[in-house]
Structure 1
């Protein structure tokens, strides 16, 4: 039975071994779900300049509007992790998708007419951001240990959905109005939902459900907090910038919403593309070395953004920052399973939650900085400082980590 389940025999070896070892339709469904979910998770970012103009929002309100989906997604990842354990990933994903589609349809038909309405919509979109805790277990549990990294990598490439939002939302808003984009987004979401229900299948051998106390047990260990802190900077920087750059480009350099969307898409694409490369680099040179380099580059690039006098310089600095943060995301998740192999599912949710909290902080702090000082620069400088703090923290723990984790043969720290 085990041989049949894992693809067995010669068919599970060689170049075709990965695809033969699991359930390809489920993997594809998980990717599509994750991709479209991430697209709508950051949807308010590309639409923010138009929404702010319609509702007369101030900089703090704009920052909170794009930050709330990130925070809601972070908190709901823990909820979804518990739900997956109890009713299975397929049904959990179906419920989440229905909530998001229903929320967007309601916002489109009823209209979003106030700042409070944008916050309510942001909470609904948080369910899309929490797809991380559903799509990855749905895909990876179908595959044997030697292929789970590839399965998680392919399903996790769905974070490229943020590029779709930046590319298409501003142009659609220009053509039909920003409120119509909320309804139009339901079309691809519904198509993917149907495909998901047809293609996805719960993996056999699901682990026993965990209580909330068991789920939070790793928080009693300092290593968990360090890893969460590093991911709060790397992924938090990535998703916070993805949500905030349309506002920055339009306010700082006077770009149109469509131009700002294209610029944001370029930056986000860079960060999404290199995430798998970050894991590969960490495998080659060690997660600590890789993370040390990218934190330094991210801090320098964000500091450069704060003093950039031209769009070209700012764009180049943002691309450099997103490349570094994308590599950093992969590097952190190279370290997590080495320390928490037995709690990898739980730690994926907790570390992912910390990343969302970091994104909320960055997006909201940029709005506050603009409101209080008239410039985004202090917000970027403070987040660059957080990257430096993370760099110092990594220097403090790396010797201990190498001594404790590096005892295992073949482990690079």
Structure 2
């Protein structure tokens, strides 16, 4: 017999909530909603600053003129390594919430952001070796992990019917951190300030985020790591297929966020101030439209939106190739901003697909009702951390592609051609796996397989 849901949370020392049942309407209305929303807002703040610190070097390299002695290839290598660390730490950050508690880990992860920021403050001057910049830049990668732990934490606070809104707001609020640091850099450069002024602004903000998390967030004792689910998710082919598709959406978003300003300065001769006037627009739009991608996926199916979004991304990339060849800055900027917006829509639609896919697999196995929902939540939750980590690796590929393109051709055109081919591959995979209707075989197909195949078109 199921025990009645609690009417109020019970805490032990350290702001732990021992019992949490957001699916119970009475509990949710009486106390759960207020507590969940409070944790959401302060989680968004910490994740937002984490994204800013992760993409810090996309701005700092704009300050690094000839006196720093770095080539364009050096700068692309630097930003690609920062992206790599950010992708790698997403895996342990996903599991850290269950080990330390959501509130406790938010305090820790926010405080850790002081390390790369203070280190950058110390070395950010001409005469510093490239190796030193690279090591300090790698430290900034830890900001990329805040997304994974924040999403895992907030996912546990909200009922299933509210998760889409909460996770979309959490992700979008974090992603805007990319545009925010570029806007702050614009103000600093416009005021004739240097990179240390930019860093000096963020150091106290990090402290504020950690203190507010300590004062207003909670730990959920009900959140526990399920290593079995993680292993099952890693063995499932759909986890890796969706990782590939997420490379094309989020990988593009974070990779372009790092690279846009450098392309403008290196290929089109823009000054840091002129580049910064333009670079924040793309990440801002890409962040704001992410919930739109989720909303469209809710209505029309995530696979369909993802498929046609890749068509649009390929078209925008083709325009970028033409603009790059013709050296048309206005056309280049417009196409790049449109491509940023499309990455945001794709981020929302691909993440929407994940729970639908595992729910479809549950139904194909013959599970029904709560058993099917439990199976779907268990595997989709475990797979999201891995998909998020692999997806972020796309940012590494983008920056390395730009590096090689500038080394070989002196422009980014070669890289854009490669991206166009990749989006074509993503289109084919989405269609072949999730939308293609299986031809009628000569022999009868098992009913469960037919059901699963047909349902994937609705994910």
Give the 5 Å matches for 1:240-251.
240-251=255-266
Are residues 10 and 205 of structure 1, via their aligned partners in 2, closer, same or farther at CA, if it must alter by over 3 Å? closer
The counterpart of 1:320, out of the listed 328, 338, 341, is 338
Counterpart residue number, 2:181: 165
TM-score normalised by the chain length of structure 1: 0.91
From 349, 361, 365, the equivalent of 1:331 is 349
Among 74, 88, 112, the residue aligned to 1:75: 88
Partner of 2:371: none
Aligned to 1:135: 150
Q: Take 2:83 and 2:230, find their aligned partners in 1: how far apart are those partners? A: 21
Residue 400 and residue 224 in structure 1: after superposition, are their counterparts in 2 closer, same or farther (change >3 A)? farther
In structure 2, list runs of 5 or more residues that go unmatched. Answer: 9-19, 359-375, 439-449
CA distance in 1, matches of 2:196, 2:404: 26
Distance 1:312 1:81, change over 3 A: same
Match of 2:41 among 4, 24, 28: 28
How do residues 102-117 of structure 1 correspond to structure 2 at under 5 angstroms? Answer: 102-111=115-124, 113-117=128-132
- Secondary structure of the 2:411 match is coil
Q: Please say which of residues 287-296 and 216-225 is displaced more in the overlay.
A: 216-225
Q: Determine the C-alpha separation between the residues in 2 that align with 1:89 and 1:54.
A: 44
SS in 2 for 1:176: coil
Question: d(CA) in 1 for partners of 2:437 and 2:237?
Answer: 11
Alignment of 1:1-400 (within 5 A): 1-4=5-8, 6=22, 20=33, 22-51=35-64, 53-111=66-124, 113-157=128-172, 158-173=174-189, 175-207=192-224, 209-211=225-227, 215-308=230-323, 309-340=327-358, 341=376, 342-399=378-435
Distance change in 2, residues 1:184/1:150 (3 Å): same
Q: 1:9 to 1:329 in 2, by over 3 A?
A: closer
Cα-Cα RMSD: 2.5
Deviations 1:238-281 (A, max 9, x none): 11111111111112222221221121111111111110000110
Tell me if structure 2 keeps the 8 A contact 1:173–1:180.
Answer: no
Distance (Å, rounded) in 1 between the aligned partners of 2:61 and 2:87? 21
Question: How big is the shift at 1:217?
Answer: 3.5
Query: What is the deviation of 1:399?
Result: 4.0
- CA separation in 2, counterparts of 1:401 and 1:156? 33
TM-score where L is the length of structure 2: 0.82
Question: Any idea what the Cα deviations from partners look like across 1:23-44, whole Å, max 9, x if unmatched?
Answer: 2221111110111111111111
Distance in 2, matches of 1:69 and 1:401, equals 41
**1:405 Cα deviation from its structure 2 partner:** 4.1
Partner SS state of residue 375, structure 1? coil
Query: Rg: which structure is higher?
Result: 2
Are the structure 2 counterparts of residues 194 and 284 from structure 1 closer, same or farther at C-alpha, using a change threshold of 3 Å? Answer: same
Contact 1:140–1:152, Cα closer than 8 Å, also in 2: yes
8 Å CA contact retained: 1:233, 1:386: yes
The equivalent of 2:11 in structure 1 is none
| Structure 1 residues 218 and 52: CA distance shift in structure 2, 3 A | farther
Out of 68-77 and 2-11, give the one that drifted further.
2-11
